[in-house]
Amino acid sequence: MDTQEFNEIIAANSSWISALRTEVGKVVIGQQALIDRLILSLLCKGHVLLEGVPGLAKTLSVKALAGTLHAQFARIQFTPDLLPADLLGTMIYNPEKRQFTAKKGPIFANLILADEINRAPAKVQSALLEAMQERQVTLGETTYRLPDPFLVLATQNPIDQEGTYQLPEAQLDRFLFKVVVTYPSREEELQVLDLMASSARPPETSPVTTPEQVAASRDLVNQIYIDDAVRGYIVDLVRATRFPETVDVKLRG
């Protein structure tokens, strides 16, 4: 098909994105870069790590995004005493049937909010590796597929040192984006004050799209043409991070 026809198909199948932005904007003031990267994670099947000081709407943004989807959402508060079974599930023995049955954990949802992920020890963080990379969970001798879409949206606070565990490289490698959330502008903080400084129930988002619509948009993303020159430039950038001594970088003052 020609470019115009393809652009029309994209416009028809991406209308849910503007509706999603509008819904999330009812709850989250500003933070457009954060919201855009959450949408990109949906389209690219990539997990997101949100880092910022407390009170910058990291958790609120993820919950607002989940509210716009007709999908299953689970929030998991990571704590030092959390166990892998609390996240993935475990095998339960049934004395009547004299056999073990799988009790699935909260990981079996479309959107997972791993709140303050760096407060859990390494054994819990490593429990996410198989789920995030292969989108499956092994309980006992059986492997279970996770639902589609499946996204892990994790938050961490950079200022807390006591009671936190730094994420290892293998864990960080599972995230497509690391988004550093910054303070809003003064005008945006005034809007936050008007929205939240009340005893009334805070606004909530409403579902505007389905997993099927997200999957259709992903298929369109796969059809977008990328020239070989752009592909080569991407690979060159990646390789430059591995061998920086081979790259002549000139910094402008």
Residues contacting 1, CB < 8 A, separation 6+: 9
- Class for domain 22-209, per CATH? alpha beta
pLDDT at 211: 87
Residues in the chain where the model's pLDDT stays below 50: none
pLDDT at 245: 77
Helix (H, G, I), strand (E, B) or coil at 134: helix
Report, in this order, helix, strand and coil percent for the chain, each rounded to 5.
45, 20, 35
Element (H, E) at 114: strand 111-115
The model's pTM is 0.82
Residue ranges per structural domain of the chain: 22-209
Q: Which residues of 172-192 are buried (b: 16+ CB within 10 A; e: fewer)?
A: eebbebebebeebeeeeeeee
Q: How many CB atoms lie within 10 A of CB 106?
A: 16
In order of 114, 170, 191, the CA distances from 77 in angstroms are: 6, 21, 28
In order of 82, 96, 101, 107, 144, the CA distances from 93 in angstroms are: 22, 9, 6, 21, 18
Q: Which residues pair with 102 in a beta bridge?
A: 91
Tokens of 177: 């984006």
The pLDDT tens digits for 105-164 are 999 999 999 999 988 888 888 888 889 999 999 888 889 999 988 999 999 877 666 667
